Amino acid sequence: MFLKFSLRSIFYGAGGGGNDIQWCFSQVKGAVDDDVAEADIISTVEFNHSGELLATGDKGGRVVIFQQEQENKIQSLSRGEYNVYSTFQSHEPEFDYLKSLEIEEKINKIRWLPQKNAAQFLLSTNDKTIKLWKISERDKRPEGYNLKEEDGRYRDPSTVTTLRVPVFRPMDLMVEASPRRIFANAHTYHINSISINSDYETYLSADDLRINLWHLEITDRSFNIVDIKPANMEELTEVITAAEFHPNSCNTFVYSSSKGTIRLCDMRASALCDRHSKLFEEPEDPSNRSFFSEIISSISDVKFSHSGRYMMTRDYLSVKIWDLNMENRPVETYQVHEYLRSKLCSLYENDCIFDKFECCWNGSDSVVMTGSYNNFFRMFDRNTKRDITLEASRENNKPRTVLKPRKVCASGKRKKDEISVDSLDFNKKILHTAWHPKENIIAVATTNNLYIFQDKVN
Amino acid sequence: MLAKGVKRPRGEMEGGDPEPRDPSAAPASSLFNISMVKLHQSLRHVEPNLRHLVLVANTLRRMQDQMQREAGGPMAPDSPEAPSVGDDLLLSALDSSISTMLEDLGQVEVLSPARPEEEQPLAGASGARQELARTSAPCLGPLELLSSASYLLEDGLEDIFEDIDTSMYDCDLWSPTSLSGFKAFSGAEDSDSKALAGAEDRLDMSDLDYLMDVLVGGHAL
């Protein structure tokens, strides 16, 4: 109650706006040393629907779930720290014998199901296989079996002279993760997205050329709802880059392409949604044309607002907000790192131009966030039109230290505290960020570390 | 400089010029060469990153269009006229290589074996590439990959199936239309496949077993 009120007062009260929030360092998870183990590279970050749990997936196929501790929230010193709740190996490297190649175990996406009972459920996917995991707590264990010793060994029935009723006794909390469903063999190409439908019974999975619809209970079949594979592969010029279900409308989903278009489809129209209901595309700015126009227009992420009225897309240099009722151009465009436009050639040479940045909304859809290079991340307040650049770095690692805004100097004289474009470290990229669904808590992933920032609580 | 002591990022890193340049100032031919290298590296993977491949290929086509348009105008001293013709052939050769590689990806869905007749256009393509390529990197075309991987086989991939009853290939059930997509394979009425596909955690291995059984004629579909 208190938190909801303060959120509104921050945004709509005196001085409202995302940038009047003072973001403070809260925690950092992961190894300290600069030598990054390949398996530790974080590949996805996702809060659950309540925000109490925060899941990360990494290149080694592991999922780590953090849980927010509840006690401190009441004391209102901070919003509660996130501590490790469960760690499990979701995907293992596999070998495809037909094609003689190794299937990477890297977790591409994690999506949580809304909580129905005591257990938590999430979907995790690598390039080929989606798995439904159940995470449950065990804090009691049965004791006093008649036929088994405490260590599990079986007793000789002839030695049993009396009978007793086993009872549950408390034990140290154990969190178990078990795979409940494995959805395999439905994707020829690499899965880039999964999205759970608002009916909470079905979900979609998208690869480069196809989108499939699954029922959570059924693993041995899926419906193909989008197929953009050309009959003649010579004609392949476009791939699917992301897909998402509408948050409220269970028949509606969108998918984005490498050519910068977004298609909205209605599953009621036909079984195969190859014809879109709406096509969102902004005409190319002729003054900015270059060899790289298409690459930088390629959409790396698409996210509906919580309200369902807008959707946000991320391309290489910008974040765009689209009104679902207007197809010919976005209603808002925010430049993430326009200073890179003159460096596209080098960024093409070192492949950075192909980096896929994600983006996210805050709980009230008033602020959007996305990552950049040099471990910088950016937030744009849609109401005040102000933006801020912050850095995820261990240098500011005292809890409740307010983060200092950063600024990149594009050209000319560099002011004090500014960083010149040429000094940016392009190996330090923030591709994955997540915003707590209700509070001003954000999770920002650098290559192998997870940073948690919170707004300053007075 | 792009960054202090540029470290190679994870993944591909061509020996590109690290000096930041305005894209319009960079000579199109060096960008073209870089793109060619990228394309080759992409095609080298059994399962290339399709997005990367498509974007690079499209960018190459743009460059080719540009170079062809400029072919009439004044040429830079280090780019003789030959490249536009050569690049044309190069690109069509690339087109067929890309399509063949991608076609092979598509073949997995209907479980047909690699077709030997595909090697013909590849031979032509890699030949053209070797004659006309201006990149410094050796062009490792798909044909060369096949031959290097088939050191065990004298005559190509058909040798894999030498000891297998080839009457299976005449079976109607193998045709693409009746299989109706690999993804429905484990969803159909077939009780055998359902039984095998029953245990979720054995799903992958049981698929393989099933396929191997079919190949050696142990199971009827």
Please list, residue by residue across B127-153, b when 16 or more beta carbons sit within 10 angstroms of its beta carbon and e when fewer do. ebbeebbebeeebebbbebbeeeeeee
Assigned token pair, A27? 């925690």
| Strands (E) located in B92-167 | none
CB atoms B2 and A291 under 8 Å? no
Q: In angstroms, rounded to a whole number, what is the distance separating the alpha carbons of residues A445 and A296?
A: 23
B105 vs A188, A258, A292: nearest CB: A188
Say what the pTM is. 0.74
pLDDT at B23: 45
Q: In angstroms, rounded to a whole number, what is the distance separating the alpha carbons of residues A245 and B212?
A: 38
B55 vs A184, A189, A294: nearest CB: A294
Please list, residue by residue across A264-291, b when 16 or more beta carbons sit within 10 angstroms of its beta carbon and e when fewer do. bbbbeeeeebeebebebbbeeeeeeebb
Does residue A72 sit at the B interface (CB-CB below 8 Å)?
no
CB atoms A345 and B103 under 8 Å? no
Does residue A225 sit at the B interface (CB-CB below 8 Å)?
no
Q: In angstroms, rounded to a whole number, what is the distance separating the alpha carbons of residues A32 and A29?
A: 9
CB atoms B10 and A38 under 8 Å? yes
pLDDT at B97: 59
Does residue A163 sit at the B interface (CB-CB below 8 Å)?
no
pLDDT at B24: 46
pLDDT band at A271 (very low <50, low <70, confident <90, very high): confident
**Closest chain B C-alpha to A127 CA, distance in angstroms:** 11
Q: How much of chain A, in percent, has pLDDT values that exceed 90? A: 76
List CB contacts (< 8 A) between B204 and chain A.
Answer: 94, 184
Residue B121 or A313, more confident:
A313
Best probe of the A interface among B2, B13, B49, B99, by most A CBs < 10 A, is B2
Q: Is the pLDDT of residue A384 over 70?
A: yes
Q: In angstroms, rounded to a whole number, what is the distance separating the alpha carbons of residues A221 and A183?
A: 8
Least confident of A205-209, B12-16, B119-123: B119-123
* For range A231-246, the mean pLDDT: 94
The domains of chain A, with CATH numbers, are 26-136+174-455 (2.130.10.10)
pLDDT at A47: 98
Average pLDDT, chain A: 91
Chain A residue whose CA is closest to B190 = A220
Q: In angstroms, rounded to a whole number, what is the distance separating the alpha carbons of residues A319 and A335?
A: 7
DSSP A265: E
Assigned token pair, A160? 């049993």
CB atoms A292 and B11 under 8 Å? no
Q: Is the pLDDT of residue A10 over 70?
A: no
Q: DSSP letters of A93-159?
A: -EEETTTTEEEP----EEEEPPP-SSSEEEEEE-SS-EEEEEEEEEEEEEE--SSB-TTSPBPPGGG
pLDDT at B141: 36
Best probe of the B interface among A218, A346, A347, A421, by most B CBs < 10 A, is A346
Least confident of A162-171, A215-224, A308-317, B61-70: B61-70
Q: Is A119 exposed, middle or buried (0-12, 13-18, 19+ CB in 10 A)?
A: middle
Q: In angstroms, rounded to a whole number, what is the distance separating the alpha carbons of residues A364 and A370?
A: 16
**Closest chain B C-alpha to A314 CA, distance in angstroms:** 16
Residue A413 or B203, more confident:
A413
Q: What are phi and psi of A167, to 5 degrees?
A: -125, 160
Residue A208: which H helix or E strand, with range? none
**Closest chain B C-alpha to A58 CA, distance in angstroms:** 15
CB atoms B51 and A221 under 8 Å? no
**Closest chain A C-alpha to B10 CA, distance in angstroms:** 8
Asked if A349 contacts B34 with a C-beta cutoff of 8 angstroms, the reply is: yes
Residue A210 or B31, more confident:
A210
Note the ipTM here. Answer: 0.89
Q: Is A150 exposed, middle or buried (0-12, 13-18, 19+ CB in 10 A)?
A: exposed
pLDDT at B164: 61
